[in-house]
Amino acid sequence: MVKYYYIRDQSPTLAVRSFMSSRKNALSPTIDTVRNLVQKFERTGSVSDEVEGRKNKEKNVRTPDLIEKAIELHEANPRLSVRELARELDVSASTAFRIRHHDLGHFAYKISTFQALNPNDIERRLRFAKEICSLIDEKKFDPQKIIFTDEAHFHLDGYVNKQNYRIWGTEKPSIRTKPLHPRKLTVWAGISSKGILGPIFLKENETIDGRVHSRILHSAIEEASKKRLTGSHFWQQDGAPPHRTGENLDLIHSHFKKRAVAKGYRERFSAGYEWPPFSPDLSVMDFYLWGFIKDSVYKERPGDLEELRERISDTMRAIPLETLQRAISAFEKRLRLVIESEGEHFENILH
């Protein structure tokens, strides 16, 4: 398997295909299995078990020389992970953590970015949270009957994983990051307690305007109808201009009637609920799905856009319903945090 990985341009997907073509009756290994084998081979030079090597490994000691070397490594690269530090020092991960935490006094700071809120935004977020929580308390609204929708960009050369991106140091830094390379996939998806809608992929370099979003809506609503969601669930979308053209709002209304949570919907139809501005912290797509998908597909750099597309699709299809339902249940908790923070962003309370 490792041989095929290197022969096929270090692509786990292509390695699996080559492996299966040479072994007609073999069970197909997963992409994660290939990645784990390659990581073990690159770390040890072998894919055999390392039990004996671990048994004979000497106990590591946090010596002054070791701590001095850790300081030098940190100064050269504050983003060095504990695992990478352990490899550089030739110590266990637990020893590397103790050096960093106890001897150097460093902590891992999470990098978070927020859209600035003006007083009107804050008021609308607070009003929305109070309205929905009141309906939930009166058992007139079930968050498990919302279809959350959104699109995201997946850059071929990776992205900054805001959930796992850490800077080690004694003080929290201020930093902004963004992808540097333009090749990417734009993906639309929806998440409900009954499963994932999509993913729907745009053509490379295609941008979302009202016409493109209308095409997405027709396909997504058809899938939702087949899953019998249009007669019972709410349709949620944010306030991006292509989402709220008259034609697209009319299309949503023709299938979901009063059951929509979208900017401009209540004004147009005197029904539904207004999704508040700058509120990705309330959308299951943003606080769960996109981060989870990106964490998975970027474990190893994709070889090309087709491999990236396959990883995204495979990862979405593999998410259990119970996981989706737990993620949606966090929506109510986050609404109450909006109330607690009086309409402001609440990540500082949550974390």
Identify whether the C-beta of residue 152 lies closer than 8 Å to the C-beta of residue 186.
yes
Q: Parse the chain into domains and list their residue ranges.
A: 2-56, 64-105, 119-165+178-350
Quickly state the pLDDT bin for 117 (edges 50, 70, 90).
confident
Q: Give mean pLDDT, residues 114-135.
A: 89
Higher-pLDDT residue of 143 and 54 is 143
Above 60 in pLDDT, residue 93? yes
pLDDT number for residue 29: 78
What confidence tens digit (pLDDT) does each residue in 159-213 have? Answer: 544 444 444 555 555 444 554 456 888 999 999 999 999 999 998 888 899 999 9
pTM, two decimals, is: 0.64
Can you give the pLDDT at residue 58? 40
Interatomic CA distance for residues 53 and 45, integer angstroms? 13
Class of domain 119-165+178-350: alpha beta
pLDDT (mean) for 71-93: 80
Quick check: helix, strand or coil at residue 199?
strand
Q: 40 vs 144, which has greater pLDDT?
A: 144
In this predicted structure, what is the pLDDT of residue 348?
Answer: 56
Residue 56 has pLDDT above 90, yes or no: no
Give the pLDDT confidence score for residue 129 in this predicted structure.
95
DSSP string covering 138-176? TT---GGGEEEEEEEEEETT----TTT-EEEESS-----
